[in-house]
Amino acid sequence: TQLLEQSPQFLSIQEGENLTVYCNSSSVFSSLQWYRQEPGEGPVLLVTVVTGGEVKKLKRLTFQFGDARKDSSLHITAAQPGDTGLYLCAGERRLWLDNTDKLIFGTGTRLQVFP
Amino acid sequence: EAGVVQSPRYKIIEKKQPVAFWCNPISGHNTLYWYLQNLGQGPELLIRYENEEAVDDSQLPKDRFSAERLKGVDSTLKIQPAELGDSAVYLCASSFKGSGSYEQYFGPGTRLTVT
C-alpha cells in the first residue's frame, strides 16, 4: 500500500518549460525528502524539508512542504534535458522508541525533458 | 569516499533457482536497508538492520527471502526459490544513525530478471 501518491505519473515536456510535481498523503510525516533517480542508478537525495510550510530552493528547483506536513510539491523552472529522471518523494516516519526512521516512498514521477 | 557497493549489477535466472545479492554500505554507516523497486515505482522496504540486528523485517516475504548482516557491515539478501514476480531492482541503502540526519545513501541496485 502506497501512502504517498505522486502526480503526474509521467511528464514529457520541452526544454524551457516549467513543471510541478505533487506528493500527497493523508498521513503526517516528520520530514519529506525528494530524490531523483536516473536509469541504472539508485535514488539520490535532492532536499529534505522538515517544517510545515517550509520552502527550499536548489537552483531551478523549488520544494515546498505543506502546512500540515502531509503533502509536498516540487517545481522546476525552465526545465533542461539534464533534469530527466524519476522523481521520488519520501515521507519520514520517526520511530521515537528506538530513535530510528522509516522512509515511505511515493509512487514516482517520470520526467522526460526534450531538447 | 566510496558509496554503497552492490553486486552483481544484473542477474538473470530461471524460476525456482536461488539467487543472492551482496551489499557493502558506506564505511561507518550502522543502518543498512534492502529495498525492492518495481519499474517506474518507488522503492519498498524489505528489511532494515541496525548494526547486525534486523529491526524491521515486517515486509520481507520470509517463506522465500532471507537476509543476513553477520558482522554488522556488509549484507546479503537471498531468494530461494525465485518466482517470476520477483523480477525487479533490489536496492541497498545505508545511513548513519548518530549524525542527526536521516539521509539514506543508495547503491546502484541489482536488476533481477526471472524467466
Euclidean distance between CA atoms A45 and B74, whole angstroms: 22
Q: Are B47 and B57 in contact (CB under 8 A)?
A: yes
Q: What is the pLDDT of residue B99?
A: 57
Terminal Cα-to-Cα distance of chain B (whole angstroms): 37
- Domain boundaries of chain A, sorted by first residue: 5-114
Residue A106 has which C-alpha cell? Answer: 511515493
Indicate the CATH number for domain A5-114.
2.60.40.10
Fold of the domain spanning B5-97: Immunoglobulin-like (2.60.40)
Among chain B residues, the shortest Cα distance to A89 is held by B42
What SS3 class is residue A81? Answer: helix
Among chain A residues, the shortest Cα distance to B106 is held by A42
The list of chain B residues with pLDDT below 50 reads none
Q: How far is Cα of residue A12 from the mean position of the Cα atoms in its chain?
A: 17
Q: Do A103 and B104 touch (CB under 8 A)?
A: yes
CA angle, corner A109, sides to A103 and A114, nearest 5? Answer: 140
Confidence of residue A99 (pLDDT cuts 50, 70, 90): low
Q: Render pLDDT for A33-80 as a digit per residue (tens, 0 to 9).
A: 999 999 889 999 999 999 999 999 999 999 999 999 999 999 999 999
Q: How far is Cα of residue A93 from the mean position of the Cα atoms in its chain?
A: 16
Contacts of A34 (CB under 8 A, 6+ apart): A23, A45, A46, A47, A63, A72, A74, A87, A88, A89, A90
Widest distance between CA atoms in chain A: 49
Shortest distance between the Cα of A15 and any Cα of chain B, in A, equals 22
Q: Do B42 and A33 touch (CB under 8 A)?
A: no
Element (H, E) at B5: strand B5-7
Confidence of residue A96 (pLDDT cuts 50, 70, 90): low
A110 shares contact with chain B (CB less than 8 Å): yes
Q: What is the pLDDT of residue B103?
A: 82
Q: What is the pLDDT of residue A93?
A: 82
